[in-house]
Every structure is written in structure tokens, then in C-alpha cells.
């Protein structure tokens, strides 16, 4: 069996298409486009790429995104000051602080930032207020990656109601909100994590299996019930040629990619899972593009909500 590929890039494009007129209407009424402030600290190579993609995608749908750069040596207080300025700047409807923050800021730095962002501008959906609203099923701004997964499953006709969904990963930004959103879609949800006993026994029960582990090719065919829908949230850059050769069969275009670039992006799901799953999100081109589309959707939604309009949603 070979799994149907769930085309996140196509669904993301259609979400962006629907956002354009909303952004136009907002701009005409407000006299300015929806505004997104992105804070980037330091010079993390992957973050630079993510931020560039977000800036471009924002302008493509008619939002105005502005980048606020802080040096690697910036302190947590500097980041919080920048966020506080954006909180009161009327030109910005959304605030995003690009993860990860420099490790020198300490392990609690991201949470300290989420505690300060105005919940009405929290387009990542990470503030305690929005996390609470999400758990109550009444969020306006929910985390982008899990929201993108729900949008993909809905648009690809994958039935969630009554299904057994298993989420591997319990982070505040992916695993937990993913589980909440699936619960609100009436799935029966199991959350697995690093201390779960006999993981394959649980994952094999899943009609929908979401992998948000952060470990290359972690989910293998023996984790998957034949015919299940498998959502691969993972983004792992692999640079070891032996590892790449072990992952992809001879003749795979991914090997040619690796030969050209010296690295490939691999998800948390092993490529061989395609032989067992009924449907599968590819990496790249699955969940990744949806995350950005949902970020822009949250930005337009935040702009409308802050202006007191619930526009064309
Ligand atoms: P994280 O490190 O915060 O969480 C990983 C989770 O995996 C933890 O809850 C941990 O308990 C669980 N885990 C680790 N080892 C395990 C094991 N052996 N068995 C079962 N569970 C185990 O990571 P995160 O921020 O939630 O991100 C997860 C992945 O998703 C990463 O690859 C990240 O790059 C990717 N990601 C992708 C997008 C996107 O746009 N596609 C967005 C955010 C994160």
C-alpha cells in the first residue's frame, strides 16, 4: 500500500487566497493593512529562513510585516521591552517572537515572553490567556501548527469525530494544543510522551497519528495501524550522508536533493511509513506551509477582532 499524500502546500495556498480579500477589506476600513511585528534575536540560521518566509508570505496576502532585530547579546529585558512597545503600537495587530531565543537567556525566557505579549496580539496563541481559552474551546487565536493540521485534515476529508487520535509529544506549542484541537473536533485523544510505556501499542490504535517529537524518522511502520492517517509535524535537518542513505531508497529524489545541498529536511516519521499509512503528510510540503498560512490567518483575525469587526470569517 502507498499512502495518499496530504498536500499541505496546496491547502496553505487556498487559505492564503481566502485571506487576501479579508486583508483588503480591513485595509480599506482601517486605513492601514493588518500589521505583524516579528522579533528576531541573534543569528540562528534556520530562524533567518523562517522569518524571511513569514515576511514574504505576509506581504503576499496584503499584511504589513516588520522585522525587529536584536543582537545575540541582547538580554531578556531587551526582548520584553520590544514586546511591550509592540503591545502599545496601534500599527501592529500581531506579535511573534521567533523561537529559539539565545540559550544564554535561560530556560524560562520563552515563557517570560509569552507572559508579556498582549493576548489580543498573540498570533502564535502561546500566552496563558489564549492557552486557557483554547482548553475551554473558545479560542480566537490558537497555535498555528496544530491549527494548520486541523485545517489540513478538514480540507482533505479526514474524519476526526469519533476517531482515535494519538499525539506523540506534549509540548505547549505543538503537542498539547494539538490534542485540545482534536478533542474539540470530537476525537478520542491519547497524548504520548517520552515516558510513555509501550508506545507502539498505543500508536497502533490510532486512526489519526500525529508525530511532534523532534526526532528524525522516529515513527516507524510498526507504530502505525494499516490505513491510518499520519501527520508528520517534525522538521529535522539531516547532514550525515550515512543517515540519509539509510532513510531513502536508491533512486529517491531526496538523495539527489542531499547530493546538491549537503542536507535534507526529514520529519519525525520514517519514509517507510508511506507503505502502511492510508494518508500521510510529506516533509517538506506538509504541515510546514500551513503553519505560516495560519500565522497570517491569525494576524488578519487579530486585526479584525481588535477593530471590533468579526469580518468575513
Ligand atoms: P519539543 O522538544 O518541545 O517536544 C517534543 C516532545 O516529544 C516532548 O513532549 C517529548 O515528551 C516527546 N518525546 C521525546 N522523545 C520521545 C520518545 N522517545 N517517545 C515519545 N515521545 C517523546 O518539540 P516541539 O516544539 O513540540 O516540536 C516537535 C517537532 O515539531 C520538532 O521537530 C519541531 O521542529 C517541529 N515543529 C514543526 C513546526 C512546523 O511548522 N511544521 C512547528 C513547530 C515545531
Q: CATH number for the domain including 157?
A: 3.40.50.720
Examine the residue annotation and report whether 93 is marked as an active-site residue of this protein.
no
In a domain? residue 149: yes
In a domain? residue 27: yes
Last residue of a domain, one of 87, 120, 153: 120
- Residue 115 and residue 76 share a domain: yes
Yes or no: say if 234 and 213 are a contact pair by the CB < 8 Å rule: yes
State which residues form the domain around 244: 144-290
- Residue 108 and residue 211 share a domain: no
- Residue 212 and residue 157 share a domain: yes
What is the separation of C-alpha 304 from the centre of its chain, rounded to a whole number of angstroms? 22
In a domain? residue 212: yes
Q: What is the pLDDT of residue 311?
A: 52
Distance from residue 137's CA to the centre of ligand 1 (Å) = 23
CATH of the domain at 79: 3.40.50.10860
In a domain? residue 31: yes
Examine the residue annotation and report whether 54 is marked as an active-site residue of this protein.
yes
- Residue 155 and residue 97 share a domain: no
In a domain? residue 10: no
pLDDT tens per residue, range 277-293: 999 999 999 999 999 99
Ligand 1 lining (C-beta closer than 6 Å): 145, 168-171, 173-175, 192-194, 196, 199, 212-215, 233-236, 268, 287-288, 291
- Residue 155 and residue 110 share a domain: no
Handedness of CA 170, 173, 179, 183 (dihedral sign): positive
In a domain? residue 8: no
- Residue 285 and residue 149 share a domain: yes
Q: What is the pLDDT of residue 309?
A: 87
Beta bridge partners, 211, equal: 168, 232
- Residue 263 and residue 160 share a domain: yes
Q: Ligand 1: which residue has its CA nearest to atom 41?
A: 288
∠ Cα 127 36 46 (to 5°): 80
- Residue 155 and residue 276 share a domain: yes
- Residue 283 DSSP one-character state: T
Residue to mutate (ligand 1; options 12, 167, 169; most atoms within 8 A of CB): 169
Cα distance between residue 60 and residue 296, in whole Å = 10
Examine the residue annotation and report whether 118 is marked as an active-site residue of this protein.
no
Helix (H) or strand (E) holding 231, with range, is strand 229-232
In a domain? residue 189: yes
In the structure grid, which three cell numbers stand for residue 10, read together?
A: 496546496
Yes or no: say if 161 and 181 are a contact pair by the CB < 8 Å rule: no
- Residue 152 and residue 244 share a domain: yes
Q: Residue 142's closest CA among 158, 124, 129, 159?
A: 124
Cα distance between residue 277 and residue 1, in whole Å = 8
- Residue 223 DSSP one-character state: G
- Residue 158 and residue 284 share a domain: yes
Residue 259: count of CB within 10 angstroms of its CB: 11
In a domain? residue 132: no
Q: Residue 99's closest CA among 188, 155, 57, 38?
A: 38
Helix (H) or strand (E) holding 266, with range, is strand 264-266
Yes or no: say if 226 and 280 are a contact pair by the CB < 8 Å rule: no
- Residue 177 and residue 86 share a domain: no
Helix (H) or strand (E) holding 68, with range, is strand 64-70
Distance from residue 302's CA to the centre of ligand 1 (Å) = 27
Distance from residue 127's CA to the centre of ligand 1 (Å) = 19
Lookup result for grid cell 511573534:
96
- Residue 264 and residue 154 share a domain: yes
The ranges of the chain with pLDDT < 50 are 312-313
Length of the chain: 313
Q: What is the pLDDT of residue 1?
A: 55
- Label residue 272 left, alpha or beta by phi (over 0 means left) and psi (-120 to 50 means alpha): alpha
Cα distance between residue 160 and residue 228, in whole Å = 12
In the structure grid, which three cell numbers stand for residue 113, read together?
A: 515572553
Helix (H) or strand (E) holding 259, with range, is helix 253-261
Total tally of structural domains belonging to the chain: 2
Whether residue 284 is preceded by a cis peptide bond, meaning omega within 30 degrees of 0, is yes
Q: Which class for 199: exposed (0-12), middle (13-18), buried (19 or more C-beta within 10 A)?
A: middle
Q: Residue 150's closest CA among 11, 302, 2, 44?
A: 11
Amino acid at each position: 500500500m502507498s499512502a495518499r499524500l496530504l498536500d499541505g502546500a496546496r491547502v496553505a495556498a487556498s487559505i492564503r487566497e481566502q485571506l487576501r480579500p479579508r486583508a483588503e477589506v480591513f485595509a480599506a476600513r482601517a486605513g492601514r493593512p493588518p500589521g505583524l511585528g516579528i522579533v528576531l534575536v541573534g543569528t540562528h540560521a534556520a530562524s533567518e529562513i523562517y522569518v524571511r518566509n513569514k515576511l514574504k508570505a505576509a506581504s503576499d496576502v496584503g499584511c504589513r510585516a516588520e522585522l525587529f532585530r536584536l543582537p545575540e547579546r541582547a538580554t531578556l529585558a531587551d526582548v520584553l521591552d520590544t514586546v511591550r512597545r509592540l503591545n502599545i503600537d496601534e500599527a501592529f495587530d500581531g506579535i511573534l517572537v521567533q523561537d529559539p531565543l539565545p540559550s544564554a537567556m535561560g530556560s524560562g525566557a520563552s515563557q517570560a515572553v509569552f507572559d508579556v505579549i498582549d493576548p489580543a496580539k498573540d498570533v502564535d496563541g502561546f500566552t496563558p490567556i489564549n492557552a486557557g481559552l483554547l482548553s475551554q474551546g473558545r479560542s480566537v487565536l490558537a497555535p498555528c501548527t496544530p491549527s494548520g493540521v486541523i485545517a489540513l485534515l478538514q480540507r482533505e476529508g479526514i474524519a476526526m469525530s469519533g476517531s482515535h487520535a494519538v499525539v506523540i509529544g506534549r509540548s505547549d506549542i505543538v503537542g498539547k494544543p494539538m490534542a485540545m484541537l482534536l478533542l474539540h473536533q470530537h476525537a478520542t485523544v491519547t497524548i504520548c510522551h517520552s515516558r510513555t510505556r509501550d508506545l507502539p501499542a498505543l500508536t497502533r490504535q490510532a486512526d489519526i497519528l500525529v508525530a511532534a517529537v523532534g526526532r528524525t524518522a522516529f515513527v516507524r511502520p510498526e507504530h502505525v495501524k494499516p490505513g491510518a492517517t499520519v501527520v508528520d509535524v517534525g522538521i529535522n535537518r539531516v547532514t550525515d550522508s550515512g543517515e540519509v542513505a539509510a532513510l531513502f531508497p536508491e533512486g529517491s529524489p531526496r538523495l539527489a536533493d542531499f547530493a546538491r545541498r549537503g542536507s535534507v529536511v526529514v520529519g519525525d516519521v520514517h519514509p517507510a511509513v508511506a507503505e502502511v499509512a492510508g494518508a500521510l503528510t510529506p516533509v517538506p510540503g506538509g504541515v510546514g506551509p500551513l503553519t505560516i498560512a495560519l500565522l497570517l490567518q491569525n494576524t488578519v483575525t487579530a486585526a479584525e477582532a481588535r477593530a471590533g469587526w468579526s469580518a468575513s470569517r
